[in-house]
Structure 1
Amino acid sequence: MNERIARDVVLVRAIETADQKREVLSEDDRMYASRSAKELAQWQASDSKSQVTTDHFLQQRSEQILKRIAERTPAFAAFTKRRSGLKGLAVVLPVVALLLGAGLDRITDPHRVDLLSAPLLLIIAWNLLVYLGLLVWACLPAAKPGGAKSALLHKLSIGKTALPRKLPHALSAGLLSFMAEWTQLSTKLTTARLSRTVHLSAAMFAVGAVLSLYARGFLSQYSAGWESTFLDATQVHTILSALFTPAVSLFHLQDFSLAEVEALRFGHAPSAEGGARWVHLYAATIFLLVVLPRLALAIFSNWRAKRLEKHFRLDLEQPYFRKLGEALGTGAGVAPGALAGGGVLRVLPYSFTLDEARDKGLATIATMLLGEQARLMLRPSSAYGEEAAEALRETRLDDVGVTLTAVLFSLAATPEKENHGAFLEYLVRHSARGVGVLIDESGFAERIGAQAGGQARIAERIALWQQFCSFHHTTASIVSLIDPSTRPLDAGAGLTLSAAP
């Protein structure tokens, strides 16, 4: 599916997941959207004489649900029309860079061409350093976005981060969840688009600097020369030869000798030679070392962005999509990409020993998430404070037979970065298909639920865990293993996976 369809699908999933009490979308709304989407997808496949695909079904369903919510909540309609902050930046930044490059002549002598021109040499040196940095970065392991970079990606992926006013609480929670998730899912696409803009802007800055040289040359008589406290003519000749050799060789420009460089030193007898020769050398060198490579990088980034935009990948093996796949069915000529029920839920408890009742509750949750044919794979509990690598040494996190991996924490525990966080970070980093988080409230609720202010304490602890999991790039799904029906995880409220780094 393309970016627009994926964005709508992720938005609908976030809203349905947050709307557990059916305040925004009733059960009838969801069932009607699924039935209608199935029919529309079948008609679309019939018209094109192809099979029904999951993409068609999800597209039709998300469009109907978003339209229905927009009709009921006008403030939400404005949110759906938001676009990323990159479109304006992609136009403004190259134009500003061109103007800034053209303004370089304001900080140089308008009547001479300095053979050791600091602005022009800095342009070349900076871009060569950037190319070296890109090569080194390409060889390094992929790093997880964080800090200021994540904030920038969030702004560029979503645009305005403020929510519209007068939205139902469940809808606001869904939009917040969507913005965080979409920022993570679209990181590669946003980075490609940003790279395209940055490389194009760098090329435009260099073009502006060269144009300013030629424009000023039409109105002023250049005199060429150089001066230095620490460099002699031989060193300057060596530097300029290394710098201008590619341009001289490729464009067959006039070369220069050591004697000519010596004669152009300011303070010696004035040279009759004008500056046009050196303007051409600098212009050709900047074109070869800056403009062409930057344009090539911009073209590559544009190709990558277009490719990611047309083929935006979502993990359709997640429980939410599997449950929707039951509405689409498996016997109606569904294409290979369609979904089927069933699967394996692997649970990794952390400092949590399950009794028989809670073990049965987990089996019920597996059925809620993956359908009637779901199977539960319960791993031994990891001890508090134990290193994740040691605790999981016999667990294959890349097991293709596992549909969904979830960490199980107890709400009674207070989340700690160095223990719970380290365990979760290890799983997020090493799980190829992502990892979900289940927080069991049953033990904590039994202990303090009936006390004065107990419900408020439970709500505070839930908020703390949700914030903690969000910090570690996943979402906490609250469950009750004693009575799973009190915290249902169904098609509208599935377990959210963290994206694999």
Structure 2
Amino acid sequence: MNESAARNVLLLRAVETTPNSGWTDEDRAWASRAAAEVEGASAPLERIVARRAELAVERLASRDRNVTRALRAFAWRPWVGAAIAVFAFAAGIAIDVIGPAQRVNLLAPPLAALLAWNAALYLLIAVRGALGLFSARARALGPLARAFARVLQRQAPPAASAPLAAFLADWARASAPLAAARVGRVLHVAAIAFALGLLAGLYVRGLALEYRAGWESTFLDAAAVHAVLSALFAPAAALTGIALPEPAAFEALRFSAAGGVNAAPWLHLIATTVALFVLAPRLLLALGDRWVEARWTRRFPLRLDDPYFREMARALRDEPARVRVAPYGVALSPQATLNLNALVAQALGARTALAVAPATAFGDEDDVDANALAADATLVVPLFAAIATPEPENHGAFVDRLAAASAAQVVALIDESDFRRRFGSGDRIEERRTLWRNALTERRVPALFVDLEQPDLAAAEAALRAAVR
């Protein structure tokens, strides 16, 4: 899918994975059905996902104009790069790098700062590239690029809902490499335009003014100056055929001796040096970033293997969900088992295949066959008793083993029946929920709290549906 389609997909995912977003089950079913009708039920998942998101975003935008504003916040505007390049070129022309004295000091040539800046930049790019092989942080946007990206991207609407805020964060992460390439290309083109502007201004002023070239130094003699300039301008001299004066002639180039010479040959050498060490490398870097940008724009590498997309693929293929419940330190009564079956059927569909594994005793988490427990599951549910205090080395380790054994989503179910029977439903149950929620949040596992002996099936169903989206 292309960049625009990926943006739509992530927006819809944010809406469908946020509780109380206003996007109903009927809306979801309509989007899936319409996408399958347009693309064909046998079409690749990527195409159906993209079409479904496109249709859904149209419906969402008709209900909330902030949806359109959120999408536009990250939509690239090609005119921005062109405008920045034009401004950079104009700024280069406006700057008089030689000044009113009209003297070109060959030991401090007028574009030396430009060359030094670009040399430092090339070194930084090389270092960041080397570090990027080992560190994801080093591959992120640099400080200048980050500042530029913030300027280009509009802020989210002030009244943005939770789904839109989640989308903006998701898209910023997913599109970071594209943003880096895009911002890098704009900055490289701007640097080229600025350098061209400096050179253009230099030559235009040279039509009406005579620039004099020479040198002066407290510590260097003519021989040393010849050696320095021969090394600096050797590539430009070889390319243009402009020969540098002999060492003896450099004495006459002292400003104190003869006021210098006509600067035209030296300006040609300076301009050629800028072309070799600024324009050419920057052009290559800009082309490289443009290639990355074009590749990501046409084929955005959005992974479709997380639980949200796997569940969508299952629903599109009309396959029943396969739920594996793994009790830990808790034994389900027959009534609790019946209520659990009813809850899963109402939340995930009557065709859902539910299997409850034998209970794992407290402390035996290292001996459990997690692969067998989670085999072929679309949803893995570790089941705990709220009356137990969550222990990272026990309950946490059990969750970790299940999560590592399966690519399916993991949602923890906390049975509150014994806790409510002993302590009632006051503040203590909220305190215990907080303990469990904090322990599971560290592992990025949603927690679902249900009294399996006397459940509020409607509330539990809504909570389970929200957790698995």
Give unpaired runs (5+ residues) of structure 1: 46-50, 166-171, 331-339, 384-390, 496-501
Alignment-derived partner of residue 451 in structure 1: 426
Candidates 318, 327, 335, aligned match of 2:315: 327
Query: CA-to-partner distance for each residue in 1:18-38, whole Å, 9 max, x for gaps?
Result: 0x34x5122111112111111
In 2: Cα distance, 1:282 partner to 1:213 partner: 11
Residue by residue, what CA displacement relative to the aligned partner does 1:468-500 show, whole Å, maximum 9, x if unpaired? 87xxxx9663433766972767777546xxxxx
Counterparts of 1:197 and 1:406, CA distance in 2: 48
d(CA) in 2 for partners of 1:219, 1:409 = 86
The residue that corresponds to 1:276 in the other structure is: 264
| Cα separation, partners in 2 of 1:270 and 1:67, compared to 1, 3 Å | closer
CA distance in 1, matches of 2:45, 2:258: 80
Indicate the SS of the match to 2:104. strand
Equivalent residue number for residue 295 of structure 1: 283
Q: How many residues align?
A: 435
Alignment partner of 1:250 out of 221, 239, 251:
239
State which of 98, 106, 123 in structure 2 corresponds to 1:115: 106
Distance 2:439 2:77 in 1: 33
Corresponding position of 1:29: 27
Letter in 2 for 1:203: I
Structure 2 distance, partners of 1:15, 1:70, is 12
For the 8 Å contact 2:386–2:419, the answer to whether it is kept is no
Please give the alpha-carbon distance, in whole angstroms, between the structure 2 residues aligned to 1:58 and 1:118: 58
Q: Confirm or deny: 8 A CA contact 1:113 1:275 kept in the other structure.
A: yes
The change in CA–CA distance for 1:206 and 1:28 in structure 2 (over 3 A counts) is: same
Q: Say if 2:82 is the partner of 1:91.
A: yes
Residues 72-471 of structure 1 aligned to structure 2 (within 5 Å): 72-84=63-75, 87=78, 89-105=80-96, 108-109=99-100, 111-117=102-108, 119-140=110-131, 141-144=134-137, 145=140, 152=147, 155=150, 159-164=154-159, 172-271=161-260, 273-329=261-317, 355-356=330-331, 450-452=425-427
Change (3 A) 1:85 1:53: closer
Per the alignment, residue 499 of structure 1 pairs with none
AA paired with 1:262?
E
Give me the TM-score of the superposition, normalised by structure 2: 0.73
Q: Distance in 1 between matches of 2:218 and 2:424?
A: 80
Superposed CA deviations along residues 372-408 of structure 1, whole A, max 9, x for unmatched, are 5799999x99x9xxxxxxx9xxx99xxxx99999999
Higher Cα radius of gyration: 2
Question: Residue type of the partner of 2:264?
Answer: A
> Is 142-151 or 282-291 further displaced after alignment?
142-151
| CA displacement at 1:252 relative to structure 2 | 1.8
Q: CA separation of 1:289/1:462 partners in 2, compared to 1, >3 Å: closer, same or farther?
A: farther
Identity %: 30
Tell me by how many angstroms 1:292 deviates: 1.0
1:5 corresponds to which residue?
Answer: 5
C-alpha distance 195-414 of structure 1, shift in aligned 2 (>3 A): farther
CA distance in 1, matches of 2:379, 2:163: 22
Q: Give the aligned residue type for 1:191.
A: A
Kindly state the Cα deviation for residue 411 of structure 1 after the two structures are TM-superposed.
11
Is 1:479–1:488's contact at 8 Å kept on the other side of the alignment?
no
TM-superposition CA deviations, 1:102-132 (whole Å, max 9, x none): 2331663452222123551121122122222
Unaligned runs of 5+ in 2: none
Q: Contact between 1:237 and 1:258, CA under 8 Å: does it hold in 2?
A: yes
| TM-score, normalised via structure 1 length | 0.69
The letter for the 2-side match of 1:451 is: G
Structure 1's 459 and 480: CA in aligned 2 closer, same or farther, altered over 3 A? closer
Distance 1:146 1:270, change over 3 A: closer
